[in-house]
Structure 1
Amino acid sequence: MAHGGVGCTESETGYNSVYSRHSRNYVESVSVEISSIMTRLGYGEEIRRWRAEKYRENDRLWNARLRDETVITAGSKAEGLTRAHESDLDVLSVLNGVLCVEAGINLYTIPENIDVFKMDTRVYPGHCRLLQERPANSRLCLINNALCDDGYGDVLLCSSLFLDECSAAAYKLPSVSYHERAGPSMPMSCYDIFHKDRVAALRCLYPSILQKWSARPRYWPPPIIVKKVVSLGAYVTPVGFRQSEYKHIEWRICFNTGEVELVNNLNDTQTKIYVILKMIVKDIMKPKNKEITSYLVKNIILWQAENTPQTEFHERSLLHWLHDGLRELRTAIEIKQLRYYMIPDRNLMAACGLGDAQQHKWVADITEMLGEGPRVILRLPKIRKAIVASPEPMLWFSKKRMAAEMLDLLGMNRRAQCMDQNWVLDDSDCILNAIRIRSKEIYIELAQRMLQEGSSVMSFCYLLNLLK
């Protein structure tokens, strides 16, 4: 894969293919089997799209009740790539009544009840400062308290003050534990089972960068999806460039909804490669301080998709493109450089905190993984267990787990429908109770089978916690 444009062939990239040490038929047959296992593990296209739709529905239900903000499920949940309890729920909390615009936007097209800030992008690529352009008729206290003077007569919206105000203004629920902020994220958890990362954000109009992105020569995505991504616009979140002296007043430009749309339009093989690469980062490389993140992997996959005909991605080529992704990850670590898919001038590896010793170790580790060929997949505990498991129990557990997950998501949306104006849940709802009863039946069946198969007491206790 080459990040410079389309039409790059394998010979032009200068690397040895996974086929160089193994026959093509062997690699392709293993790829098909891995693809099938990934489907049984819950990463197939049908369940992925079903999950994504249920989270979109949940957003619609909540936003119908909210006034000052709009919630948007982001990350792997919005992409349908993780089960309900598999990873944190990432939520973008977009403040209504505020808009950030780039220079040249006609303010007369923006209603007067909208607070307008001008984006000053003369900072590190992908970041900006927000200068007050036009106050709204009635300004939110949260915004008013986050304003500061830049020392040159202009009024800035300070990202660090804004984040402090958001944390102070957040409604606290007694059943929820609130944790220390991590960058722009405000983490919380419930019963040590449900974990949520909330990030405050503002909408912004940034047509020039989106037009530049849309004009790139590409194989993917198709024009209709390009147009939709452009229409979804951009956001700014309260976090500056790590090495900037003025990071406390800087904001990061992001395209959460557009990126979700892009991932949702990857094909089945591409999404499975994405998930496996994330597993490699999490289970094998195990970064301690987020030097390498799943977001980095996502950008590798997006570049890979843009620069390659879609017909090249099929279940027989899964291992080939997995190795291609690993090579790109190794290169990114080796040269500490990976261009952001939406804004290529921004280096996602800049100021990532990667030390020399860790850098050399990960380069060596990935080189070793590439040398293993198809056997690299056996390093991943989840896939390895699925490979050695007996087919019948594996298929039974897969079906039961999927049914339980579907009921979880149906229950999530039903609870949102059964709350009154004071956010009090109506526990007497017959549909909600039917979902609960069937969920308990499935979890009991799972627990009984797990004990029969010799699973640990800890796994059994985890299921019992879900029944509470």
Structure 2
Amino acid sequence: MTDQFSSLLNSTLDTLGYSIENISLRAKVSKTVKGMCSERCTKQFGLKLLSAGSKAEGVSPIFASDEDSMLVYTDYVCVDFGDIGNGIYVIMRYLDESPPGYIKLRPLGARNITALPWLLIFSMYVTNLDIVLLSSMSFRNFLTLIYSRLMPYLGSANKVSKVSGPALALTVNRCMLNHVFSSDIYADIVPALPYYSSSILEQWKDRKRLYEWPTTDTIKEVSTTEGYVVPVGHKQSEEQNFEWRVCYTTGEQKLLGSLNEVQIKLYVLLKMINSCVIKGQVDCLTSYMIKNIVMWVSETCRTGTFTPDNLSRVVLQSLAFLRNCLLYSNFLPNYMISDRNLLFGKVEVQEKLKLGKIIAELLHEGEHIFLRCEKLKNAMFIMCANPALAFRFRAWRNEIEELFLFAHVNIFSKIKPDMVLRSTFSYDLLFEYMKDKSFVETVIRLFNLLSIDERTLFGNGFQSFEDIDKWLDRLFS
């Protein structure tokens, strides 16, 4: 394994849009757009919309994956110990022997009578416990019904709606300009309630660490972030319908934002290897598991380990860490709640053995594993054969993405709440765009960079948009 190969690998990722600048920009835009939507939702509906998943982290290009969002109900608050609040519905944790990372919730009551009926729908008397608890199963099922009724009012046809873990997986069709142009939108929406628990974060904060990551300032910042509970119980628990999973999405995003360039590229490469090599043989390794692996490896290695000429080594080191978790300890700890085993109930015995065998083969191959990722292999070849061409492609690609992200923010900034329910929504929005000179110039510049003939585009009834979307998908993925 050579330092030269690792440096080439590092530079190739920059060319493909995975430089620290590219990733930071995508994460910033995702946060900005969700912030705009969240501000309007909070004022009107008592909701806060958070960007989640790979899009929020910036490690997935803009067209490469589904849109993951967390929908937080801000009229409620969950606490370990509390009392009835003023103007907010307080929910207390029911102290019992739930699996690590899961809790049961007991509604206390509220003076805010407008919020009361909602939780009454999901409150159930549990005979064996002689107490009223919130049902996570009822919460999920009710939201599925709500979204299926809501989509037509937003001008979208609900094509698929199914529950996947705590998330509601949606496929909707947005018809634009009276069916002249339509497109499918894929989204995973995770409903959540705010959760404040000093005990969990204090335990994470006080954990003994040997090296420099995360820094003291980052630990302090993360330990003050709010947590969330999402409506899903432990798969192998008899009381899973009353259990809620605890997560620290905001804290994890702050931790990922504190990673250096090579640590972030480690995350990108592990996701690539999973997508290109592992997933086709056994589909049990999730992006969330990979994220936790990266955070554990970052904490247990010196910061000096993560350099461009050491990139391929730390990838193999991370795969070795996963193999040890699978075959020796049978335990992959959640980074924020270390008692929670991410393998338990998620990876079956046969899958575990098969995944362990695949990882052993990858470790035996060494740095050749990166050549299994076709796009990465082709880009590395061009980087070696024609560096000038690769440099021009990188500049061209980055400009297209920056312009598109600018347009993306501009699009959402012009959507007003009162516009959404109008039958003329698409036309009203198009009129707002046409009034904005900078937006029009951005679109024209994009068309020029992509060599799109505007007259052909508009003369073809906007049907070319679907081809453009697929083309951009290949460019940015």
TM over 0.5: yes
Q: Secondary structure at the match of 2:103?
A: strand
Whole-angstrom distance in 2 between the partners of 1:40 and 1:372: 25
Q: Deviations over 1:18-67 (max 9, x none)?
A: xxxx4xxxx21111110000111111111111111111211221122113
Partner of 2:135: 158
In structure 2, the residue matched to 1:242 is: 235
Return the offset for 1:194: 4.2
Say whether the 8 Å CA contact 2:23–2:57 is kept in structure 1: yes
**1:114 corresponds to 2:114:** no
The Cα shift of 1:464 comes to 8.4
Q: Distance between the aligned counterparts of 2:108 and 2:141, measured in 1?
A: 22
CA RMSD of superposed structures (Å):
2.4
Question: 2: CA distance between counterparts of 1:37 and 1:222?
Answer: 29
Mark the CA change 1:421 to 1:193 in structure 2 (over 3 Å): closer, same or farther: closer
Q: Distance in 2 between matches of 1:83 and 1:55?
A: 11
Write the letter of the residue equivalent to 1:432.
F
Does the CA-based 8 Å contact 1:142-1:165 persist in structure 2?
no
5 Å-filtered alignment, 1:395-434, equals: 395-422=391-418, 423=420, 424=425, 425=429, 426-430=432-436, 431-434=438-441
Q: Which residue of 2 aligns with 1:142?
A: 118
Of 57, 66, 84, 2:41 maps to 66
Counterpart of 2:68 in structure 1 is 90
Q: How far apart are the structure 2 equivalents of 1:90 and 1:421? A: 21
Contact 2:333 2:341 (8 Å CA) reproduced? yes
- Give the Cα–Cα distance (whole angstroms) in 2 for the partners of residues 378 and 465 of structure 1: 21
Of residues 162, 183, 188 in structure 1, which corresponds to 2:170? Answer: 188
Decide whether aligned partners of structure 1 residues 312 and 240 sit closer, same or farther in structure 2, where only a CA change above 3 A counts: same
For residue 404 of structure 1, report the CA deviation from its aligned partner.
Answer: 2.2
> Secondary structure of 1:99's partner?
strand
C-alpha separation in 1, matches of 2:467 and 2:378: 15
Q: Which residue of 2 aligns with 1:51?
A: 26
Q: Which amino acid aligns with 1:164?
A: N
CA distance in 2, matches of 1:391, 1:133: 65
Fraction of identical pairs, as percent = 28
Instruction: Map 1:307-322; keep pairs closer than 5 Å.
Output: 307-322=300-315
Separation of aligned partners in 2, 1:228 and 1:288: 40
Q: Which residue among 156, 175, 193 is the counterpart of 1:175?
A: 156
Per-residue deviation at 1:140?
A: 5.0
Whichever residue aligns with residue 197 of structure 1, its letter is: D
Gap runs ≥5 in structure 1: 1-21, 447-457
Whether the 8 Å contact between 2:270 and 2:315 is mirrored in structure 1 is yes
Residue 225 (str. 1) matches residue 218 (str. 2): yes
What TM-score does the superposition give when structure 2 sets the normalisation length? 0.83
Matches within 5 A, 1:278-427: 278-286=271-279, 290-335=283-328, 336-356=330-350, 358-389=351-382, 390-422=386-418, 423=420, 424=425, 425=429, 426-427=432-433
Cα deviation, 1:413-449, whole Å, max 9, x if unaligned, reads 2122212331343343323333322222223369xxx
- Which secondary structure state, in structure 2, belongs to the residue aligned with residue 419 of structure 1? coil
Tell me the TM-score normalised to structure 1 length. 0.85
Aligned counterparts of 2:340 and 2:469: Cα–Cα separation in 1 = 45
- Structure 2: segments with no counterpart, 5+ residues: 174-181, 454-465
CA distance in 2 between partners of 1:288 and 1:92 (Å)? 30
- Residues 352 and 287 of structure 1, relative CA distance in 2, 3 Å threshold: farther
1:119, distance to aligned residue in structure 2 (A): 1.5
Shift in CA distance, 396/178, structure 1 to aligned 2, threshold 3 Å: farther
Note if contact 2:104-2:243 (Cα within 8 Å) is conserved in structure 1.
yes
Residue identity opposite 1:243 in structure 2: Q
- 438, 445, 455: which one pairs with 1:438? 445
CA distance in 1, matches of 2:237, 2:73: 26
The total of aligned residue pairs comes to 425
Identify the residue that residue 470 of structure 2 maps to in structure 1.
462
One-letter amino acid of the structure 1 residue matched with residue 303 of structure 2: Q
What is the aligned partner in structure 1 of residue 13 from structure 2?
38
Letter in 1 for 2:189: R
Q: Distance in 1 between matches of 2:134 and 2:65?
A: 33
| Partners of 1:181 and 1:187 within 8 A in 2 | yes
Indicate whether 1:265 and 2:258 are aligned.
yes
CA contact (8 A) 1:202 1:235 kept: yes
1:251 equivalent among 244, 250, 253: 244
Shift of 1:396: 3.2
Contact 2:63/2:473, CA 8 A, preserved across alignment = no
| Contact 1:113/1:137 (8 A) holds in 2 | yes
Q: Once the 2 structures are TM-superposed, how far is the Cα of residue 179 of structure 1 from its aligned partner?
A: 2.9
Deviation larger for 215-224 or 264-273: 215-224
Report the Cα distance in structure 1 between the residues aligned to 2:471 and 2:184, rounded to whole angstroms.
11
SS of the aligned residue for 2:164 comes to: coil
Matched letter for residue 117 of structure 1: I
Note closer, same or farther for the CA distance 1:28–1:428 as it changes in structure 2 (3 Å cut): same
Q: For residue 78 of structure 1, what is the aligned residue in structure 2?
A: 56
Q: CA contact under 8 A between 1:75 and 1:260: conserved in structure 2?
A: no
Q: Partners of 1:445 and 1:331 in 2: how far apart?
A: 51
**Pair 78,382 (structure 1): closer, same or farther in 2 beyond 3 Å:** same
Letter matched to residue 397 of structure 1? F
